[in-house]
C-alpha cells in the first residue's frame, strides 16, 4: 500500500486540532470567540504557524499583516476547491478529505480569521 506524502505528513493534524478544539468550545460558551481562536480551532495554525507568521514549509505562505480582503478571497477560493496549485489542493484536502476530523470553517469563521490575521 502506498500512502501519499501529503496524507502521511499531516496525519498529526487531527490530534492537534482535537486538543485545541476542546479549548475553543469552552471559549465559545462564554461568547469570547476570536479570529485567533478560530485559526487555532480549525488547524490553520498547523501549517501557517503561530499568528500566520511561522509557516511550517516553504510551500505555505505567511499570512500575517496582508490585507484582510485579499486573505479572505484567497482562503475562500482555496477552501471551495477553486485554487489550482498543488499547494492549494493540499490546504483544501486538509479540510475535505475523509481523514479530516473537523468541520470546515464557515464563511463567518473565515471572515473573522482573516480580519484578525490582517492585524498581526
Ligand atoms: C495542510 C496545510 C494547510 C492548512 C491546514 C491551512 N493552509 Fe492555508 N495554505 C496552505 C498552502 C500550502 C497555501 C498556498 C496555496 C497556494 O499557493 O496556492 C495556503 C494558502 C493560504 C492563503 C492564501 C495566502 C496568500 O497570500 O496567497 C490563505 C489566506 C490561507 N491559506 C488561509 C488559511 C486558513 C484561514 C486556514 C484555516 C481555515 C488554512 N489556511 C489552513 C496550507 C494550509
Question: To test the ligand 1 pocket, which listed residue (52, 71, 72, 75) has its Cβ within 8 A of the most ligand atoms?
Answer: 75
**What are the pocket residues of ligand 1 if the criterion is a CB atom closer than 6 Å to any ligand atom?**
10, 42-44, 46-48, 59-61, 63, 66, 71, 74-75, 78, 83, 85, 87-88, 90-91, 94, 105, 110, 113
Residue 62 to residue 12: CA distance in whole angstroms: 21
Contact assessment for residue 96 and residue 104, using Cβ atoms and an 8 Å cutoff: yes
| pLDDT averaged over every residue in the chain | 80
Residue 36: its pLDDT value, please?
A: 94
Higher-pLDDT residue of 5 and 58 is 58
Q: How far is the CA of 61 from the centre of ligand 1 (A)?
A: 7
Taking CA atoms, 42 is separated from 21, 38, 86, 116, in Å, by 8, 6, 21, 14
pLDDT at 18: 52
Residue pair 112/33 in contact (Cβ under 8 Å)? The answer is yes
pLDDT value at 16 more than 60: no
Q: Which of 3, 5, 7 is nearest to 99 (CA)?
A: 7
Over 90: is that where the pLDDT of 6 sits? no
Spatial contact of 107 and 77, defined as CB atoms under 8 Å apart: no
What does residue 44 show for φ and ψ, rounded to 5 degrees?
-55, -35
Give yes or no for a contact between 17 and 101, defined as CB atoms under 8 angstroms apart: yes
What is d(CA 74, CA 76) in angstroms, rounded to the nearest whole number?
A: 5
Q: What is the pLDDT of residues 23-73, one digit of tens each?
A: 554 444 445 579 999 999 899 999 999 999 999 999 999 999 999 999 999
Amino acid at each position: 500500500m502506498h500512502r501519499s506524502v501529503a496524507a502521511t505528513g499531516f496525519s498529526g493534524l487531527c490530534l492537534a486540532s482535537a486538543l485545541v478544539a476542546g479549548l475553543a468550545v469552552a471559549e465559545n460558551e462564554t461568547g469570547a470567540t476570536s479570529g485567533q481562536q478560530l485559526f487555532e480551532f480549525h488547524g490553520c495554525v498547523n501549517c501557517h504557524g503561530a499568528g500566520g507568521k511561522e509557516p511550517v514549509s516553504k510551500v505555505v505562505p505567511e499570512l500575517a499583516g496582508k490585507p484582510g480582503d485579499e486573505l479572505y478571497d484567497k482562503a475562500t477560493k482555496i477552501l471551495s476547491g477553486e485554487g489550482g496549485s498543488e499547494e492549494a489542493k493540499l490546504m483544501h484536502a486538509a479540510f475535505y478529505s475523509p481523514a479530516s476530523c473537523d468541520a470546515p470553517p464557515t464563511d463567518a469563521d473565515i471572515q473573522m480569521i482573516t480580519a484578525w490575521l490582517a492585524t498581526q
